[in-house]
Each structure stands twice: as C-alpha cells, then as structure tokens.
Amino acid sequence: MRRSTPFGSARDLSNGSTVIPEKEYIVPVMYLETMDVAGRFSKKRTVKVNDIVELLLEGEIVIGTAPFGNGKSMLVREVFEKISKKVLSTENKTSMALNKTPITINLREHWGQDYSEEILERHARKIGVKDKEGVNIAWRAGMAHMLIDGFDEIAGQIIARTSDVKFMRNARSKSLAGTRSLLSVINPKCGILIVGRDHYFDDNDEMLHALGLLDKKINLLYIEEFTEEQAKQYLNKKGVKGDIPEWLPKKPLLLGYLAHNNMLDDAVKIDASNGFGYVWDTFIDLIVRREASHEHGVIDAPTLRKIMERLATAVRSSVQGNGPILSKDLSEAYTLETDLIPDEGVTMQLQRIPGLTQRDQDKGARSFVDMDMMGALQGSRIARFAVGEIYDLDSSSWKNGISQAAIETCIQIVKDRSAGDIDVARSVLESCCKRVSSNFSMQNQSQLLADLFSSLIECSIQMNLDAISCNIGIKGAVFESLSLDEVSLVNINFSDCVINKLAIDISRHKDIVFRDCIFSEVSGVTLAEFEESLIFIDCQVYKCDEIGSNAAIMRSSLPARIKALGTVIRKLYMQAGVGRKRNAFFRGSDSRDIRNDIEVVIKYLISQGYAREFNEVIYPNREYAHRMKEIIENLSTSRDAIVQEILQA
C-alpha cells in the first residue's frame, strides 16, 4: 500500500508518477557523525544507504539534512524499500529487528496536527489501511521503524515578528509539536530516520529540542550534491551523455529536470567566466526562448520570462518561500503581464512553464525546481524595478530576504541596462535606494529597499570600493546575510530588522547603527565586543563568531599561509554561489605576501582535486564540502592534512 503513495517530493519527472524505477537511484555523497548523550562527536565518515539501514535496524536515531533538491525524499524511499525487503524475506522471519514494519510519514500532510494519534490515523487513512488504530498500536508497541520526511515542511502558517530573539525558534518548535508527540515514546529497538532541509534550524541544539530528542544518542547525516562522476552516472541512466557545465549545481532534482526537458546542451554553451548572475540570466533567456519556439507556443519569450519572474516574486509571500503555485496563480500572472484573459492555447502553455515541477503530493500545485533559478528570477524583477521598467513591485507581504543568486542576477541585469558599465549600475542602484527610502508612498516597501541595498553592497564589493554613503534608514526588513567586512557604511541606520548572518569588521564602521535588530549569527566579533559596541543598540544575537569573517581571519594572529587558506575556503565553500572569479579571492588582502599565499593555496587546492578552474573561475569540489567546513571551524587547531600540506607548500 505505502509504495503506491508519494514519498515526499520524489517522483518520476518523465511522467509525474510517484513510482520511480529503483535502477535510477544514485546514492549521493553522505557523511555521518555520531553525537553521544554528552554532546561529544565522533569523526565524520562516509556512509551508504545500507549503513543507514543497519543503524535503524539496531534501533538508532538518524537525522538527515540536505539542501533543496538533493534527494532527501529519494533517500527515505530507498531506506523504506530496503527495510521492507528484509521484512518480507522468509530468511529473516526469526529476527525481531527485521520483523518491524517501516512507517513512512510525509510531514507536509500533517499541518496543524499536534498529537501522534492524529498523525498516524491520517497516515493510515492516506495509504488505505483499514485498521487505523493498529498503526498507532504498532508504533507504541515497538513493532515498527519510523521514517519521517520533511521537518522543514510543516512550518506554522503564521510567524509573527516580535522583539524576542527566539521568536523564530518558538515558531519552528510549535510547528513540530506533533512530531515531538510521535517521538515521545521511543522503543530502544525501533529505528528512527528524520530528514529535512539544512539550515532550517539555527543549530543542532535547536533541532534536537524542536524534535524532542535532547539527551539522546543521535547520528547526524549530511547529504551532499552529486560528485562529477555520480552526476554523469545519474544522467547516463536517463540516457543523457556528454559534458555537464561546471557552474551547474549537481543536484538530482535539477539535473533530472534539465535532462528530461533536454536543456543540458543549452547550459553547456554558457560562458561561466562572466559570473554567477550572467550564467543564470543567460540560462533563463535560453529556456524561455526554447519554450516560446515550441510548435504549440503562443506566449513570446519576453512575456514568458516576465511571468516566471512574477511567479518567483509572488512565492516570497508564502510561508515556505517556494510555493505552492496553483493553476489560478499561473493565469493571474499572465493576465497581470498582458491585460488579457488566457485562452485555451495560453492555458496549455502556462501548464508547462519551464522551471516548475509538481509540488510533492499537493495535487495540481507546483514549485520551482531549483532555489538558485528561483532567486535569479526574483533578482531579475528587482532589477527591472531599479531601471524603471516596472513600477508595481509590492514587497509588503514578503517574508524573507533576497538570496545571493538574486543579488548577483540583479546586478548583472542592471549592468546590462547600463551598457555594461558597473559604475553606472552602482549609481542606478544607489539612486533607487534613495528614491524608495525618501518616497512617502513607499514607506511600506522596507523589504524592497533592503533587497536593493543588498545588491548595492555586493556591487560595491565587486568594484573594490571602500565605503557606501547613502543617508537612508531601513526598518522592519529581513536580510538573509549582510557582508560588511570588506566595505564601510556611512549614514546608514537599521532598525527592527531580522538579519540571519552578519559579517562585520567593526573597526571600519563609525557612522552606522543597528537598533532593536535580531541577529542569528554575527561573524567577526566576540559576544563582549557585540554587547559593548555603540553600533548595536538594544539588539539581540544568538551566536557570535570571532573569526567567522574574512576580515577577522586577516586580523587574527594565525600564520599568513593559514589566513590565506581560511579566506579561500570561506569564499569558495562557505559563501553562496557555485564558483568564484579568481580575482575575487584577493579582495580585502592588501599585503603582497598574503596575496602570494592566496595564490599558493588556490594552486594547491586545484592540483589536489579540491577545486577546479575553468575560464578564470574557480569551482569547489562539493565532495569535500564537509571537510572544508571542519577546517574553517577549527582553523587554529585543525590537524587536517590539507592544513599541514599548505604550511609546507
């Protein structure tokens, strides 16, 4: 029965079916570390699906995290299949561990359910089990293993901003009340697998508290992108051969979508040396032109792109930030762009708008296939506003800040509209920030102002400018990140803002104030410096990281070669984007010796296969992402061979 119902977002892209041939599954790179009840961690190790299955059969708890589109639901399905086969095998009937049935829960189906009985009864009804109470009894009696997909998919419907630094944590915790109830009675012989999106929680402590798993031994599983070889193997199984662009994220969902729609050849043609924003702007243009040229296409390419941009912007008002996008949303976006009611031909084309895929088990609903693509479309629409092509951009209901993909695409498009002159592009962004800030009729557009200002900061950094002076105030906005360790702000005030990540060199900033702001993480200062600084007034912060910014690394007493290593790893592996232009690694490094050391580090990482270079762009090998994260988190004490070899290089 369970096999015929959806496993989260896992489905066959060729026909939309939730039944996927097992031969198509490629196990991504996965790392696992064990945290004991005292909070001590084991050394990370690579694992396969069978290793996870064995842990579950032994009654272990495994929590898996991964970025969007990396195959979390496929992993749950694969684990379900392997345990089910063991249960059904006649050879295993005498083993108590192998007689336990796997129960697989899609949390998206259980919004608003605070008790385990509610969840299990609805699940039984969904998969067609008549004895609904029997499912509940089986779990409580220790006769089943529990597989839970999507702890990030059940957020509370309304998250109100308050002055409490813990308001987002409280909202996440409240939304998972049903999951905690489900896990409140754990039989030590029953395994538990829970998966969700990475970075959903602030840290492991919050995650364990929200799931009700404090003071328990936990196995933390990290699901990475495909390696280059795995990506080729995955595509070969779909009958696709040839090169994969260096810039393209090696995520199963995105690769599968592009392969099914024959778009990989278009992606290969793009010159990635022009930057992340150029890549996505060009790729989106290619796919809309392709769709518009379809023999049944009735919407021209520019209009199709504007519809996609409008849809990508509209989902910023949703709780999840990625939809759902319903059929009525498609029709409405078309009407708003053209002042026309969609006829039959238009309606058919709207149903196959590129970049969208069926959304989990929500019938008829869609979401964007990749977060970078969605971000690029959002940045495109902000750019159109900045250059005066559109005026009806209302950000009053947006619930999140702009992503790095959106920022870089916004800059790229504004630069294109400025005859390729980045200095002119910066002036356009600055003027637009001042216009929005001073316009009384746009006082409720704080999020739009924040997005424009984020783009202005990044543009200034790309130009190696030392300072930005705007004389503006931003109130009540959300910033996913602010990088103020390489540029100074003058006459800028932030109030009542939520800033997830701030990297700052406070020695650079004399005329900037954050008032009543909430920070998840501030890099470059200690907690004492944060509390004593006149920059931060009545602000709250969850975590400070003294050496968590590039400027802080350069100010530290670490050996010069290790400073260079830390800077390169942070820019290549820790910051958003799929690659970095070679000259970007040298920003903020004035010393000739440090610049030489950075060059040594880059050459070493490329020679050892930790990174690749193509057209003056350096790309990280994501297979080593967790290793690099461990190095950067323990930069002064790391014993990793990379650190030792860099010192000797």
Contact 484, 523 (CB under 8 A): no
Three-state SS letters, 86-114: HHHCHHHCCCCHHHCEEEEEEHHHHCCCC
At residue 482, what are phi and psi to the nearest 5 degrees?
-135, 125
Angle between helices 276-292 and 301-314 (to 10 degrees): 120
Alpha-carbon distance of 24 to 256, in angstroms, equals 10
Contact 437, 472 (CB under 8 A): yes
pLDDT the model gives residue 577: 57
Sign (positive/negative) of CA torsion 226, 227, 233, 236? positive
Angle between helices 404-416 and 276-292 (to 10 degrees): 80
Three-state SS letters, 282-300: HHHHHHHHHHHCCCCCCCC
For residue 161, give the nearest of 456, 378, 501, 401 by alpha carbon. 401
Q: Largest Cα–Cα distance in the chain?
A: 75
List all residues 6 or more positions away from 633 whose beta carbon is below 8 Å from its beta carbon.
none
Angle between helices 422-438 and 404-416 (to 10 degrees): 110
pLDDT the model gives residue 65: 94
Residues of the chain with pLDDT under 70: 1-6, 8-24, 90-99, 155-167, 359-363, 440-441, 548-549, 551, 575-578, 588-590
Alpha-carbon distance of 605 to 603, in angstroms, equals 6
3-class secondary structure, 485 = coil
Which residue type is seen at 169?
R
Alpha-carbon distance of 265 to 269, in angstroms, equals 7
For residue 528, give the nearest of 503, 554, 555, 506 by alpha carbon. 506
Distance of CA 271 to the CA centre of its chain: 24
62: part of which helix (H) or strand (E)?
Answer: strand 61-66
Contact 525, 533 (CB under 8 A): yes
N- to C-terminal Cα distance for the chain? 59
Alpha-carbon distance of 558 to 68, in angstroms, equals 36
At residue 637, what are phi and psi to the nearest 5 degrees?
-125, -5
Beta bridge partners of 503: 483, 523
pLDDT the model gives residue 244: 83
pLDDT the model gives residue 159: 46
The count of C-alpha atoms lying within 13 angstroms of the C-alpha of 423, restricted to the half-sphere facing its C-beta, is: 1
Question: pLDDT tens across 323-381, in order?
Answer: 789 989 999 999 999 999 999 889 888 888 888 887 655 567 888 888 999 999 999 99
Alpha-carbon distance of 523 to 555, in angstroms, equals 13
Alpha-carbon distance of 136 to 103, in angstroms, equals 10
Residue whose tokens read 């991964």: 66
- Token readout for 495 is 């109030």
Alpha-carbon distance of 582 to 318, in angstroms, equals 37
Residue whose tokens read 């193997």: 233
pLDDT the model gives residue 440: 66
* Number of residues that make up the chain: 649
- Residue 578 DSSP one-character state: S
- Token readout for 107 is 């949390």
pLDDT the model gives residue 140: 87
For residue 322, give the nearest of 74, 150, 449, 168 by alpha carbon. 150
Q: Which ranges of 387-519 would DSSP assign to H, the alpha helix?
A: 404-416, 422-438, 446-462
Other CB atoms closer than 10 Å to residue 94's CB: what's the count? 8
The count of C-alpha atoms lying within 13 angstroms of the C-alpha of 639, restricted to the half-sphere facing its C-beta, is: 1
Q: Which ranges of 261-370 would DSSP assign to H, the alpha helix?
A: 264-268, 276-292, 301-314, 327-338, 344-350
Alpha-carbon distance of 250 to 604, in angstroms, equals 23
Other CB atoms closer than 10 Å to residue 548's CB: what's the count? 23
At residue 618, what are phi and psi to the nearest 5 degrees?
-95, 125
pLDDT the model gives residue 163: 43
3-class secondary structure, 619 = strand
Three-state SS letters, 631-642: HHHCCCCCCCHH
Burial class of 204 by CB neighbour count within 10 A (0 to 12, 13 to 18, 19+): middle
Question: pLDDT tens across 560-617, in order?
Answer: 898 899 889 988 887 655 677 788 888 766 677 788 999 999 999 999 988 888 777 8
- Whole-number Cα distances in Å, 206 to 202, 481, 518: 6, 20, 17
- Residue 44 DSSP one-character state: P
- Token readout for 206 is 């919050």
pLDDT the model gives residue 427: 96
Alpha-carbon distance of 233 to 29, in angstroms, equals 13
CA angle, 541 as apex, 536 and 544 as ends, to 5°? Answer: 95
Alpha-carbon distance of 564 to 594, in angstroms, equals 6
Q: Is the peptide bond before 324 cis (omega within 30 degrees of 0)?
A: yes
pLDDT the model gives residue 595: 86
List all residues 6 or more positions away from 345 whose beta carbon is below 8 Å from its beta carbon.
296, 298
The pTM for the full model equals 0.82
76: part of which helix (H) or strand (E)?
Answer: helix 72-88
Give the DSSP letter string of 381-412.
HHHHHHTTS------TT--SPPPHHHHHHHHH
3-class secondary structure, 81 = helix
